[in-house]
Amino acid sequence: MTDVLIRVQATPNPAAWKFVLDRPVLNEGKATYSTIQEAEHNNLASSLFQVAGVRQVHFFQNVITVTHQFDVDGEDIQKQVCAVIQTRIAVHNPNQTVLDEKKISRQNLSPDLQAIEEILDRTIRPGLQGDGGDIEVIKYDENKVYVSYQGACGTCPSSTTGTLMAIEGILRDEFNPTIEVIPL
């Protein structure tokens, strides 16, 4: 097996790095692991959690985003994560992760939630995914959309300010002028 070509990229979150690989990490959907227990069925993800300071691992297409504690050396994390990827990618199965059940479950969502998800898919998610993150809609209740950031967005300072205001602005323009977006 040849070495994996890995391009390390900064994200807007100073505590998260994108590792862009020359092969797929996931063939379908996305996966976010916040603990080693959540990653127990994915050897690559659980191995990444063994790097000291890793807080979250996010897989999407050919990208692995690793979020780490703020008090660890970013260069050291990068070197260790690259080493883990090089040694574990040979046994990693990009089909292993369960199909993105969010898309399947959307069929059962209310029309309002389906509309909100479609707007986010079209306007917000491509940018967040390009930065190594994503957003999940938790619920819509009394004109409030509750969201959770994933990947690099999870601990990014801009996700609670600029990004949140942008999401709210788009949803007000395209869905409901009085909607509120609340991060969890």
The CATH class for the domain spanning 101-183 reads: alpha beta
Question: How many Cα atoms occupy the beta-carbon half-sphere of 7 within 13 Å?
Answer: 9
Altogether, the residues listed in the chain come to a count of 184
CA distance 151 to 64: 9
pLDDT in the model for residue 84: 96
What residues does CATH 3.30.1370.70 cover in the chain? 6-91
pLDDT at 96 exceeding the cut of 80: no
Q: How many CB atoms lie within 10 A of CB 67?
A: 28
> Between 141 and 153, where is the model more confident?
141
Task: Read off the pLDDT band of 99 (50, 70, 90).
Answer: very low
What residues does CATH 3.30.300.130 cover in the chain? 101-183
Share of the chain above pLDDT 90, in %: 44
Q: How many CB atoms lie within 10 A of CB 183?
A: 16
CA distance 27 to 71: 33
Is the pTM here over 0.85, yes or no?
Answer: no
6-91 in CATH: which number? Answer: 3.30.1370.70
pLDDT in the model for residue 104: 55
SS3 of residue 39 by DSSP: coil
